[in-house]
Amino acid sequence: MAKKKLDEKADHSDIVRNEDGSSNEEEPNFSDPEGYVDDVSDEELLGELLRQKPQETDGVESVIVVDGVPVVGPDRLEKLKSVVNKLFTKFGHIVNEYYPVNEKGFTKGYIFLEYTSPVQAAEAVKHTNNHKLDKTHTFLVNLFTDFSKYEKISDKWEPPEPQPYEGQGDMHYYMLEPDAYDQFCVVNGPGRSVQIWQNTQPDPTCIQDRQTWTWSYVKWSPLGTYLATFHQLGIALWAGPNFTQYKRFSHNSVQFIDFSPCEKYLVTYSPQIDTDNPDQKRIIIWDIRTGLEKRSFDPEGPSAWPIFRWSQDDKYFARIGTDVLSVYETSSFYLLDKKSIKIPGIRDFSWSPTDNVIAYWVAEDKDVPARVILLEIPNRAEIRSKNLFSVADCKIHWQKSGDYLCVKVDRYAKVRKEKSEYKYSGMSYNFEIFHMREKQIPVDSVECKEPIQAFAWEPVGSKFAYIHGESPNICVSFWGIRVGLAPVQLKKFEKRACNHLFWCPNGQYIVLAGVGSSGGGSLEFVDTKEFLVMNTTDHYQMSDVEWDPTGRYVVTGVSVWKTKVDTGYWIWSFQGKILKRINQEKFAQLLWRPRPKTLLTEAMQKEIKKSLKKYYPQFESKDRMRQSRASKELIEKRAALMEKFSQYREKRVREYNEHKPRRLALRNNVDTDELDADTENVEEEIVEFFIKEEITMLD
């Protein structure tokens, strides 16, 4: 319409052309004719610009009010601003900030922050309200416009309308399986497919099969609630009967993750440094329930993953630095008591799996011996320490139930002093065993003069095993611990081809495995109750060994990440009997779904073990039903094939009988199909014809 009006105005201009085609153009007249009324609105002409017109409330809606801010003087104001900006700039750019002060220059406990848009302000209010800055300060954050909104609230109360409840579904549905079948996850090739299987008998059942479900690999949460998948933009958690997406955590190029023991928090780590993003966050701790970021960190020097290690109740997490141990509390995600623990020479640490106790060791320093220290958190009290001499290295191993702690110590065997310097030659090894449940935590020592290749505690029990020696004289020793007595050697297997130990989750049974190219894939299934070798076998090029949570099955796998041929996985019974061989191209990973801790008390578990005999008939009956079910399925399959053949035969017989009149007409009414029944009406005729003639000359 606007174009039409302009064309009409242009018609009023006069153009005079000469004979040679040139124009003698007069100045156009764009004035409206007399009585003309313009019916084009400003919205039609300038709609986009008018929508960007500043409004009176734009600045107000982008302002938030933060209450509960610490009251500080002018000397600490800049530090306060840096802390506040670090928290609130996560949600957008702050264009203005105002810190009201009194006549003495002290802040008044509240501040005003203005973002570039109301959306950023709303996000800041949503994620920072009730944020605990420290033990005495908690932020109360509101939009500035909320104050006028609350002033207009009617004095007459009206009950809110009930909202429909949307549950998350049964997150532990798999625990209700009547026959207690466990689940396991199989990853085929990086980025190909991910399958969830149920370990039904006699054959596993696939319950999920999704293509490109993960970018690299997958990981179960410690209690089996979530399945984590990796993607270029971050991590996704899946849960529920249909494995629907539970939460997403944005973290570019994330390669490592770690769950807290109670599944409250998730740690993501991106080791790649993005030069184009100076504000890149390398380590982020997330709240799994809300999906919010709790705090981010930068790695300090080279350190093994996981960088952060968690207490058994998710209340604390810690990391090691140069001569310092930093312990954080999850209530505020800041340092415990606002300071790190200075420990000169600290090398490694580990949390107890059942108590808030940290075990760490300190290296030797000139004439000061190395030490192993047990530190109680949060009071930081040393409950036990042990001096060690001529130490080269230590490894800390907690028993799963927290009853015992083993510190494997590598020592220099011979020490001699030359020109005020110590010279070492040779190595010796020993285990320092801490009895955590006994008074004053006594320590026993077990010595070994040969190199230690592997060590493992029995998860439920008081035994431990270790592999020692060098090829071809590799041995496996088993030791037992008794209350008030020194450890005693229970058994020693000599000349074994293994380099890893895999205990059954319930104890008693162990697999001695040769993992990797050096191990040759050897497998030895041992019952440590009588130290009976139940089976000796192998799985060539084996790269992984996984027990199921019940301790009834073992899976060995050959991963495509280790080799390109003969990839796949085999399922064994705990006695070493092969049950299934699954050869899969580009098989990458198999993980059993963990189970949460049992709700039965120790007394209830003991009672069940005592009365197992009365349950045997039920188990045997189910086993027979499974076998008969398998036989029944085979019989049904054969019967179906027989029925199909019978139907096909009957169809052909009917066609044969229907075509019989036509055959008789073609054969002069002679039924040649019934020759055996009636041969009188058949005339026989012998026909001879010349085929070939050969002449052979004889000498």
In this structure, what DSSP letter does residue 91 have?
G
> 187 is written with which tokens?
């990853």
- Residue 600 main-chain phi, psi, to 5 deg: -80, 140
Burial of 43 (0-12, 13-18, 19+ CB in 10 A): exposed
Helix axes 77-88, 118-128, angle to 10 degrees: 100
CB 543 within 8 A of CB 555: no
Q: Residue 650 pLDDT more than 90?
A: yes
- Sign of the C-alpha dihedral computed for residues 417, 422, 424 and 429 taken in this order: positive
Q: Is the pLDDT of residue 6 over 70?
A: no
Which residues have C-beta within 8 Å of that of residue 105, sequence separation ≥ 6? 73, 74
pLDDT value at residue 26: 55
DSSP 132: B
- Nearest CA-CA partner of 553 in 609, 611, 506: 506
Within a 10 A sphere around the Cβ of 572, how many other Cβ atoms?
21
Residue 92, pLDDT score? 84
- Do 431 and 445 meet the contact criterion of CB atoms below 8 Å apart? yes
Q: How far apart are CA 511 and CA 504, in angstroms?
A: 8
Which residues are paired to 138 by β-bridges? 132
Query: Is the four-CA dihedral 183, 188, 189, 194 of positive or negative sign?
Result: negative
DSSP class of 676 = T
Among 155-164, 325-334, 393-402, 539-548, name the one with the lowest average pLDDT: 155-164
Alpha-carbon gap, residue 201 to 181, rounded angstroms = 9
> So what's the pLDDT on residue 14?
45
Quick count: other Cβ atoms within 10 Å of Cβ 357? 22
Element of type H or E holding 208: strand 205-211
With bands split at pLDDT 50, 70 and 90, how would you rate the model's confidence at 132?
confident
pLDDT bin (cut points 50, 70, 90) of residue 284 is: very high
Identify any residues that bridge with 662 across adjacent strands, giving them in sequence order: none
Res 206 pLDDT > 70: yes
496 or 419: which leads in pLDDT: 496
Q: Which of these, 208, 209, 223, 213, lies nearest to 171 by C-alpha position?
A: 223
Q: Above pLDDT 90, what percent of the chain?
A: 51
Nearest 5°: phi and psi at 664? -65, -40
The mean pLDDT of 188-199, rounded to a whole number, is 86
Pick from 560, 566, 604: which is nearest to 583 by CA? 566
Sign of CA dihedral 53, 56, 61, 67: positive
Pairing of strands 324-329, 341-342: antiparallel
DSSP assignments along 544-582, one per residue? EEEE-TTSSEEEEEE-TTT-SSS-EEEEEETTS-EEEEE
**Mean pLDDT (whole number) for 197-211:** 90
Mean pLDDT of the chain, nearest integer: 85
Give the span between the Cα atoms of 682 and 699, in whole angstroms. Answer: 51
**Structure tokens, 675:** 């020759």
Here the tokens at position 147 are: 């104050």
Closest CA relative to residue 605, chosen from 527, 507, 532, 511: 507
Query: What tokens does 137 get?
Result: 């300060």
Query: What is the tens place of the pLDDT at every residue in 55-67?
Result: 555 568 889 999 9
According to the per-residue pLDDT averaged within each range, which of 127-131, 272-276, 500-504 is highest?
500-504
Q: Predicted confidence band at 10 (pLDDT cuts at 50, 70, 90)?
A: very low
pLDDT at 280: 80
**pLDDT per residue over 510-558, tens digit each?**
999 999 877 788 999 999 999 999 999 999 989 999 999 999 999 999 9
Secondary structure class of 236 (helix, strand, coil): strand
In percent, the amount of the chain with pLDDT more than 70 equals: 86
Residue 385 pLDDT class (50, 70, 90 cuts): very high
- Inform me whether the pLDDT recorded for 471 exceeds 90: no
Question: Of 462, 408, 458, 410, nearest to 436 (Cα)?
Answer: 462
Mean pLDDT on 600-622: 83
The per-residue pLDDT for 57 is 52
Confidence of residue 19 (pLDDT cuts 50, 70, 90): very low
pLDDT value, residue 545: 95
Residues 6+ apart with CB under 8 A from 439: none
Q: What pLDDT sits at residue 42?
A: 64
Q: Please spell the DSSP secondary structure of 623-649, one letter per residue.
A: HHHHHHHHHHHHHHHHHHHHHHHHHHH
**In this predicted model, which residue has the larger pLDDT, 273 or 96?**
96
CA separation for the pair 261, 299 (Å, rounded):
22
Q: Kindly report which listed range (52-66, 143-157, 289-303, 421-435) carries the lowest average pLDDT score.
A: 52-66
* 221, pLDDT greater than 60: yes
Residue-level pLDDT at 552: 93
Name which of 246, 142, 241, 229 is nearest 187 in CA terms: 229
Three-state SS annotation for 296-339: EECCCCCCCCCCCEECCCCCEEEEEECCEEEEEECCCCEEHHHC
Does this model's pTM top 0.75? no
- Give the torsion through C-alpha atoms of 56, 61, 63, 66, to 10 deg: 140
Tens digit of each residue's pLDDT (9 = 90 or more) over 554-608: 999 999 988 888 899 999 999 999 999 999 888 999 999 999 988 888 889 888 8
User: Which pLDDT value is given to residue 1?
Assistant: 43
Lowest mean pLDDT among 109-113, 127-131, 339-343: 127-131
